[in-house]
Amino acid sequence: AQKITQTQPGMFVQEKEAVTLDCTYDTSDPSYGLFWYKQPSSGEMIFLIYQGSYDQQNATEGRYSLNFQKARKSANLVISASQLGDSAMYFCAMREGPGGSTLGRLYFGRGTQLTVWP
């Protein structure tokens, strides 16, 4: 079974509007971390936001917020006030196990291509 599922191959949003990118995950480990990365056409993976499984509040970083619904095993990324520079591939990733005591490989989804139009 896929550990990370991103069901939206592509999304389109108008500049200044908000957009939600979907991500569901599958793990039996009670401790895990969820990440979102942005990958422009240049190829570099840019870290955006992190949510720990025990965090009580949804993570926020500037215009990025993570809508974490633990019971549904979903970790959707919300980008507010979209900008043309937000056009890129977005990947959801998961690390299993507690971050403090183990080194965790990341499991990635297939990504969502976001296009922001003027």
Partner 1 sequence: DAGVTQSPTHLIKTRGQQVTLRCSPISGHKSVSWYQQVLGQGPQFIFQYYEKEERGRGNFPDRFSARQFPNYSSELNVNALLLGDSALYLCASSFWDDRGEETQYFGPGTRLLVL
DSSP label at residue 30? S
Residue 4 makes contact with partner 1 by CB under 8 A: yes
Piece of the chain touching partner 1 by CB under 8 A; list 13-21, 69-77, 79-87, 106-114: 106-114
Q: Which of residues 55-94 bind partner 1 (CB under 8 A)?
A: 91, 93
Shortest Å distance, C-beta 103 to partner 1 = 5
Give the separation between CA 64 and CA 84, rounded to whole angstroms. Answer: 15
User: Site for partner 1 (CB under 8 A): which residue of 21, 66, 96, 111?
Assistant: 111
SS (H, E, C) 71-99: CCCEEEEEECCCCHHHCEEEEEEEEECCC
Residue 34 makes contact with partner 1 by CB under 8 A: no
Q: Of 85 and 100, which CB lies nearer to partner 1 in the complex structure?
A: 100
84-109 per-residue burial string, b: 16 or more CB within 10 A, e: under 16:
eebbbbbbbbbbbbbeeeeebeebeb
Q: Which residues bind partner 1 (CB under 8 A)?
A: 4, 33, 35, 37, 42-47, 50, 52, 91, 93, 95, 98-101, 103-111
